[in-house]
Amino acid sequence: MKLKGLMLGAAAAAAATSAQAADLPVAPEPVDYVRVCDAYGARFYYIPGTETCLRVGGRVRTQFVVNNVLDNDSSPWGNRDQDGYSWLARGYLYLDARTATEFGTLRTYIAMYGSSTNGDNSSFTLDNAYIQWGGLTAGRLTSNFDIFTGQAFIGVVDRDWSDVTTNQIAYTAAFGNGFSATIALEDRSNREYGDYGGTRAPDAVAAIGLSQGWGSAQLSGALHQVYPDVANNNATGGEDNLGWAIGGGVKFNLPMITSGSNIYFQGFYGDGALAYVTTYDGVADYNGDDTSSGYSLSGGVYVQATSTIGLALDGSYLDIDAASGLNDVTRYAVDGSVQWEPVSGFVLGADVGYANVDVDTQGDQDELLFGVRLQRTF
């Protein structure tokens, strides 16, 4: 009986010990929590398990633009088959990833958007996609030749200057005190006005910049291969031409008005490289062995009228001396806007623009457009 009692007692003690062990807390698995990264400014976070900081952002934009309302050949209101308005809805996604290395910050940036205009849902655009490491930049982004691309909120009419996003590889050296210099090779395909043959040589671009408290300035230059296609190559003169362009611009901050107010001026000249002078593509870079040349002058002002209201005005003038056999062109454009930001990141604005194009032997055409936009950036 004593043995039986001892055995029963031992079994009861073992059961109690097992029950207590089952109630003990178990150590949780390690978890990678999202950490704030303050090395590159606000809204960056470490990607869990890495030392790479990521910022995710986006934008939604919708706008309604009334196309040329003037009664002339370029107005859609006199043609039942042309759109009298364009209604745009667009969504953007931004991804900015940065990692500190012994050679400087390694950065990758992506900006993409999809658009629907007048019911067409088929548009998708890779706006930017590039890698930066130290002074090296490679990928798709704004041309290093470009300086200022306008103050107006919408820009319902094109103004005349260089404004191109392109594939490129570039190196920028910073010398201190706001001075920098850039050399780059850029895709020629985005700078072709007229009938070009296949790509052979990229454009060579160089720029010198200065950025200080009073504002900024830049000088730009480019070399561009004029390479006619087989049908347009001059069999008697034969050789291709080397186009070129130069430009310069300066922006002055206007703190005496309000913080954020500024004014800019710029000018461009090109020979055989009109896409470095204007976005107007109505004149080819060449005709036979002769090249077209031209210049554009532009300026703009932005005034932060109140803490939530901004006023902007752009103007430009273009003069093209076309190659023999082509029509000379002059063009001027003015575009102004008012915008209201009642909540940080949310902007509503209205825009009006006027342009006049005068083409030799064809006369001139006027454009007058209106637009409104709502935009939220986050």
Tens of pLDDT, residue by residue over 309-342, are 999 999 999 999 999 999 999 999 999 999 999 9
What is the model's pTM?
A: 0.88
- The 10 Å Cβ neighbour count of residue 364 is 12
pLDDT class of 23 with cuts at 50, 70, 90:
low
Phi then psi for residue 16, to 5 deg, are -65, -40
Number of C-beta neighbours around residue 70 at 10 A: 14
Identify the sign of the CA torsion 69, 72, 75, 80.
positive
Determine the residue type at 126. L
Looking at residue 82, what is its pLDDT?
87
DSSP 3-state of 7:
helix
For the chain, how far is it from start to end, CA to CA, in angstroms? 81
CATH of domain 54-377: 2.40.160.10
Cα gap 44→30, rounded to integer Å: 23
**Would you place residue 146 in the very low, low, confident or very high pLDDT band (cuts 50, 70, 90)?**
very high
**Cβ neighbours, 10 Å, residue 186:** 22
